[in-house]
Structure 1
Amino acid sequence: MSIAVLDAGGRLQDQGAVAALGWSPGDRLLITLIKTSVVIHRHADGVFVMPRKPYVCLPATVRRACGVDAGARMLLVADAEHDVLVVHPEPAVQAMLRTFHATLATEEAS
């Protein structure tokens, strides 16, 4: 798990996440938007190709749908067991934490 800053070209340069997954240059990637988070995994029919340098790039349509611009901080979660990288924009992480914290308050009250 790491935090990366989105650059103007949509790149998230995080060598650790890519290395943890064992992705290599030329691997084909499928990028799927689920609500406001992005799920990336290797797939033979993937439209996107892992570049020579170890980073992933979010297409402009995905960035717009997530509501993120250059400079946005993104949480990258690499799941090697499922060969997937999940990218969460900061507002999605904040919403998840608010929900979790509300359950803590409920448990504390009981």
Structure 2
Amino acid sequence: MDAVRKVVAGEPILSPSVTRKLIAHMVPEEESRRRTDARQVLARLSEREREVALAAGQGKPNAVIADELHMSVGTIKGYISRILTKAGLDNRVQLALIVHDAGLDGR
């Protein structure tokens, strides 16, 4: 009954130390699931598409990616478009988040 009164009054029913432990326990599971999901998205790509996706996900501009992978800028643009479509993404920011979540952003 005391817990119900606390909730009604807007007070926490868990102590701060218990809340911290609960959050610490849940965060690794969430990170692990996000990493697995992101890696599954990248696994749908061809090897060359993954190379382009990782470079784009690291924030590199098309010209730099083209130079590093010995392709034309137009080819890189085509790859980026196909990668976004295959991965079900709308933009490069989402791609960068996938690369980050996969743990492949070089950080």
Same fold, TM exceeding 0.5?
Answer: no
Which protein is bigger by CA-based radius of gyration?
Answer: 2
| Larger proportion of helix | 2
| Larger proportion of strand | 1
What is the TM-score when the length of structure 1 is the normalising length?
A: 0.25
